[in-house]
A and B are shown apart, each in its own frame.
Chain A
Amino acid sequence: MITKITKLARISGAIGVAAFSAALMLSASPAAYAGELTVYTAVEAEDLKKYAAKFNEDHPDITIKWVRDSTGIVTAKLLAEKDNPQADVIWGLAATSLLLMKSEGMLEGYAPKGVELLDSKFVDSSSPPSWVGMDAWVASVCYNTVEAGKAGLSPPKSWKDLLDPMYKGHLIMPNPNSSGTGFLDVSSWLQMFGEEGGWTYMDGLHENIARYTHSGSKPCKLAAAGEIPIGISFAFRGAKSKAKGAPLEIIVPSEGVGWDMEATAIVAGTDNAADAKTLVDWSITKKANEMYNAGYAVVAYPGVAKPVKFFPENLLEKMIDNDFEYAANNRKRILAEWQKRYDGKSDPK
């Protein structure tokens, strides 16, 4: 009897362990095997399927596994996984974030085939470049004409116009501490108006802001839904919402607008370097750039850009001469200062 029990216990124990490890093995797919790439991205969800499909037209043997989230979350994820990277490629993340990765030694330098054809503004200065740009997304103000009319507002023409007390409580912008779009606004004001002038401007703007949102597209979607008359967001989002029938006007402030580019990079330590290179090579082709052009008026490949429906026409000339390195290296300091000044201080007690 005793031996029987111990035997039974031993057998069932062995089966249990075997089953457990088998179950673990089965469900835990290895990080990557040939033909599959884990790609981290902050590209809008509705475009991802199209991106993968276009890529697969030329490379049907490589499957893309997307990890899509907002810029801040993807950046946080990548940094958290610094010592154990899960991603093979980053395709479509803010250049300021990629600069941060680069300074942590997380990116694999690689000069994709045909990189010399791109606008040099869109290529990392190191050799080989750590990242290559795809397209630019540009700040804009989404203005709901119906709700603004109800509130008796007149459309602003410049950033400084937004300081007018008539806009008090009618304005929403993304929190730079969680949104890449919010950060590019803040960093552009600091570059345009100077550090001191920039903070003075934001002090004034803060008086009019109803609240700060976590994501960069939300202000424009809220403006589109009439939840707020004016949302500081980006032009692409505005054009999309307008195309859906929202009573929006997309305003490009006269002083100039901040922008950031989406870029592509190979993650150092990927165990699928060959496929990763294939993807990055493809990501800078003319075909890929034509694809980016569907949502972005500005793309890395010169001569490709065609006007996008509802995109403000003068947007290109209003883009500031953005210093990405300044933005990346001072990011921490700017965000801490912003938080100290505006986050939580407006809390009703």
Chain B
Amino acid sequence: MVDLSLKTAAVVKVKPRAGRDAWIMRAFILVIGLYLVVTLAMPLYAMLSKSFNTYYFDLARYEVQINEDGDWGETIDVAALNAASNKYSRDQLRTSSDGRLSIVSMLENFSFRAKTLYRLRNVHASGSFLSGSELVDDTNWHEFTSNEFRRVYLKPVKTTGLDNFRQYFSNPSLFNSIFNSLFIAIVTTIITITLAFTFSYAIARSKMRFKGGFKVIAMAPILVPSLLPGIALVYLFGNQGMLKFLMGDQSIYGPIGIIAGSVFFTFPHAMIIIQTALSISDARLYEASDALGASKTKTFFTVTLPGARYGLISASFVVFNLVITDFGLPKVIGGQFNVLAVDIYKQVIGQQNFEMGAVVSVVLLVPALFAFAIDRIVQKKQVALLSARSVPYQPKRNRNFDRLMFSYAAIIAALIVGTLAICQYAALIKFWPYDLSLSLTNYDFDVMDGGGWGSFYNSLKLAALVAVIGTVAVFTGAYMVEKSQGMQFGRSLFQFLAMLPMAIPGMVLGLAYIFFFNSPNNPLNFIYGTMIILVICTVTHFYTVSHLTALTALKQMDREFESVSASLKQPFYKLFSQVTVPVCLPAILDISIYLFVNAMTTVSALIFLYSPDTTLASIAMLNMDDAGDIAPAAAMGMMIFYANVAARIIHHFLSKRIYSKTQAWRTR
């Protein structure tokens, strides 16, 4: 109690000073908050409203006159014409923006050879029809012979409503994808979590050798785009695959391929989380369990698993979210197995049905948001397992166990290295499987789809920009939110906005950006088609994890620093630049490498946004695979891998140096 009152007193004393700083800090929060509103909330709103845009043929907007024997008959409303022939129901008149309705289909006994003449006009200026391919949008009467009239098509008008959703759920080939996506995500989650848990267990609880090496190798899949394992699987288990015989009658193109590839690219994500959970166990619990005579198995189920349960749950939802929102892998190896993320692509790119693309996006948002919400709730429940009195668990030597764990880790490591090696090998083969000589022809990206070598350099540029701009924005935002006072509502809103990107699938974000930024009324539309929009989209897409990393680092710093600095009459930015940033440098470097690597590998959001000047390596990979140039796609994938490895090595040495320079205080 005494302590508390003292603190309040201190705050009261320095209030005038804090007030001025607080205003500047609020301004910062406002700017970065505004950034999140413009780059996240508003595009999502634009997309949501797009999903309610429906199109239908408004027959009452047209009038027709028929001349069968020299006299023009009375003017007939086309709606009446349809009612008379009973041709289309209200449902059948629903369509999408590029729908076309043949007018003669509503005329009974129509023959294009008849001598009958027809006249058609738009009642309102808003109506339009096509004469052949010619657009007619005036309200004059237009005359046609029978033969011309069969080439007349009505165009739909726009309205708002739930029709798109109704249409979606009444089309089995569309909504089946929901079950497919859930199936893939759930099966992958179970497999990945089991594998990653065992692997992390081996690292944390055994005395096996080469732990460091295994850890490094296990992280490798993070450095490549998710479609790379798909390409490796084609070379291994495709119809010309090296291990095709293992597949029996099954085809790799479909759920098997998607699941196998998804396990590969989600493995490190799960492993990081589970390993953290396992490494913070309290050794005293194990001693107690041992002293009470519990068997190894019992200890495992009563101590180890419960201790790691939050990590396991969190990892499960992260994996689930990654898989259900992934687009590259199912695109490459999904075959006829439709999933939601690919459906969005097919609706938008294949059919130019933007409204339905928006509907599928909304559908995809539901499981992603759901998984995200549960994860947040679980995270909140997590209490500190490690108190000041905890004794870190030290594994004891156990020959058989260590050997078993070593073999397991070695198998996993071999699978990961093998997958990458296959891609590198395939990239160097001249013409698989007929000419196995080695050559560099597959690296001649300039004669292939996707933008050539330029796309690789663009990716490097994008990654560098995202790393720098993103880190500055994220860390500053996190600092202001964490260390400023007052403005409770504004800060919670900011927190919410900062957490939201995690739940938004890349495809959805990309599509939302088209709707929002390409609207001619948007003053920001000049950034459409430039590198800026790619940078903004990528920073926003990966905002959450960076924000959380920054928060964690900042929370380790006592708020007393602010009070002390304030009582020393130092402005906050001095404290920020001279104390906070140097202390948090390791975390800042982590954020930047995280952003860099993800900018190199991401496909989903940017596939809708790149332009001729800003083709990207990961998208070039997808496009090359799409055109059937699989080996060059593998070659590009490996280039991305090497670039990321180089970035990681630089990061490693930089961290080491910075650690020795600025973090000396950590060791006494």
Q: A65-B613, A84-B518, A218-B627 are in contact. Are A331 and B98 (CB under 8 A)?
A: yes
Nearest-neighbour CB distance to chain A for B545, whole angstroms, equals 25
A126 and B612: CB pair below 8 A?
no
A346 and B336: CB pair below 8 A?
yes
Residue of A nearest to B614 (CB): A27
Q: A217-B628, A347-B336 are in contact. Are A245 and B431 (CB under 8 A)?
A: yes
Residues of B close to A49: CB separation below 8 A: 446-447
A80 and B514: CB pair below 8 A?
yes
B239 and A226: CB pair below 8 A?
yes
B134 CB within 8 Å of chain A? yes
Question: In the complex, how many residue pairs between chain A and chain B have their CB atoms under 8 Å apart?
Answer: 193
Residues of A close to B134: CB separation below 8 A: 102-103, 126
Residues of B close to A69: CB separation below 8 A: 449, 623
Nearest-neighbour CB distance to chain B for A321, whole angstroms, equals 16
A24 CB within 8 Å of chain B? yes
A227 and B177: CB pair below 8 A?
no
Residues of B close to A27: CB separation below 8 A: 530-532
Contact flags (1/0) for B592-631 with A, using CB distance below 8 Å? 0000000000000000000111000000000100111110
Q: A28-B527, A212-B336 are in contact. Are A227 and B238 (CB under 8 A)?
A: yes
Residue of B nearest to A80 (CB): B514
B160 CB within 8 Å of chain A? no
Question: Which of B96, B130, B180 has a CB less than 8 Å from the CB of A103?
Answer: B130
Complex CA gap A226/B7 in Å reads 76
B95 and A343: CB pair below 8 A?
no
Nearest-neighbour CB distance to chain B for A214, whole angstroms, equals 5
Residues of B close to A210: CB separation below 8 A: 251, 253
Residues of A close to B447: CB separation below 8 A: 45-46, 49
Complex CA gap A102/B626 in Å reads 28
Q: A46-B448, A177-B346, A214-B331 are in contact. Are A225 and B526 (CB under 8 A)?
A: no
Interface residues on B, range: 35 or more
Nearest-neighbour CB distance to chain A for B105, whole angstroms, equals 10
Q: A29-B530, A84-B520 are in contact. Are A329 and B177 (CB under 8 A)?
A: no
Q: A343-B173, A347-B336 are in contact. Are A245 and B435 (CB under 8 A)?
A: yes
Among A188-196, A259-267, A295-303, A333-341, the one that faces the other chain is A333-341
B171 and A328: CB pair below 8 A?
no
Contact flags (1/0) for B514-544 with A, using CB distance below 8 Å? 1000111000011111111000000000000
A73 and B240: CB pair below 8 A?
no
Question: Which of A72, A81, A224, A333 has a CB less than 8 Å from the CB of B349?
Answer: A72
Complex CA gap A228/B252 in Å reads 13
Residues of B close to A68: CB separation below 8 A: 449, 612
B354 CB within 8 Å of chain A? yes
Residues of A close to B350: CB separation below 8 A: 72, 76, 175, 177-179, 214, 335
Residues of A close to B151: CB separation below 8 A: 325, 329
Complex CA gap A329/B626 in Å reads 27
Question: Which of A72, A124, A215 has a CB less than 8 Å from the CB of B628?
Answer: A215
Complex CA gap A69/B612 in Å reads 10
Residues of A close to B489: CB separation below 8 A: none
A125 and B132: CB pair below 8 A?
yes
Nearest-neighbour CB distance to chain A for B51, whole angstroms, equals 15
Residue of A nearest to B130 (CB): A103
Residues of B close to A24: CB separation below 8 A: 526-527, 532
B434 and A177: CB pair below 8 A?
no
Chain A contact residue count (CB 8 A cutoff): 80
> Which has the most chain B C-beta neighbours within 10 Å: A5, A49, A84, A345?
A84
Contact flags (1/0) for B234-277 with A, using CB distance below 8 Å? 10001110000000000101110000000000000000000000
Q: A86-B529, A178-B349 are in contact. Are A344 and B95 (CB under 8 A)?
A: no
Complex CA gap A345/B613 in Å reads 39
B336 and A80: CB pair below 8 A?
no
Residue of A nearest to B156 (CB): A332
Contact flags (1/0) for B176-217 with A, using CB distance below 8 Å? 110010000000000000000000000000000000000000
A105 and B431: CB pair below 8 A?
no
Nearest-neighbour CB distance to chain A for B47, whole angstroms, equals 13
B628 and A103: CB pair below 8 A?
no
A345 and B173: CB pair below 8 A?
yes
Complex CA gap A46/B628 in Å reads 14
Complex CA gap A225/B240 in Å reads 8
B630 and A225: CB pair below 8 A?
yes
Residues of A close to B417: CB separation below 8 A: none
Complex CA gap A84/B519 in Å reads 7
B450 CB within 8 Å of chain A? yes
A2 CB within 8 Å of chain B? yes
A140 CB within 8 Å of chain B? no
Complex CA gap A89/B151 in Å reads 28
Residues of B close to A75: CB separation below 8 A: 352
Contact flags (1/0) for B4-32 with A, using CB distance below 8 Å? 00000000000000001000100100000
B337 CB within 8 Å of chain A? yes
Residue of A nearest to B342 (CB): A214
A344 and B336: CB pair below 8 A?
yes
Q: A76-B348, A332-B95, A335-B351 are in contact. Are A103 and B133 (CB under 8 A)?
A: yes
B135 CB within 8 Å of chain A? yes
B100 CB within 8 Å of chain A? yes
B431 and A246: CB pair below 8 A?
yes
A226 and B612: CB pair below 8 A?
no
A329 and B336: CB pair below 8 A?
no
B306 CB within 8 Å of chain A? no
Residue of B nearest to A182 (CB): B350
Give chain A interface residues in 94-117, CB to chain B under 8 Å: 99-100, 102-105
Residue of B nearest to A25 (CB): B526
A91 CB within 8 Å of chain B? no
B627 and A332: CB pair below 8 A?
no
Residues of B close to A102: CB separation below 8 A: 133-135
> Which has the most chain B C-beta neighbours within 10 Å: A45, A178, A226?
A45
A222 CB within 8 Å of chain B? yes
Complex CA gap A100/B532 in Å reads 31
Nearest-neighbour CB distance to chain A for B149, whole angstroms, equals 13
Question: Which of A126, A226, A332, A343 has a CB less than 8 Å from the CB of B99?
Answer: A332
A53 CB within 8 Å of chain B? no
A137 CB within 8 Å of chain B? no
B153 CB within 8 Å of chain A? yes
Give chain B interface residues in 90-138, CB to chain A under 8 Å: 95-100, 102, 130, 132-135, 137
A79 CB within 8 Å of chain B? yes
Complex CA gap A27/B255 in Å reads 42
Residues of B close to A152: CB separation below 8 A: none
Residues of A close to B526: CB separation below 8 A: 24, 28, 30
A83 CB within 8 Å of chain B? yes
Q: Which 6 A-B pairs have the closest CB atoms?
A: A221-B628, A178-B350, A344-B173, A218-B628, A177-B350, A46-B447
Give 18 CB contacts A-B under 8 Å. A45-B448, A45-B450, A68-B612, A70-B627, A72-B350, A103-B133, A126-B134, A177-B351, A217-B628, A225-B240, A226-B240, A227-B234, A245-B434, A332-B95, A332-B98, A332-B100, A335-B350, A344-B177
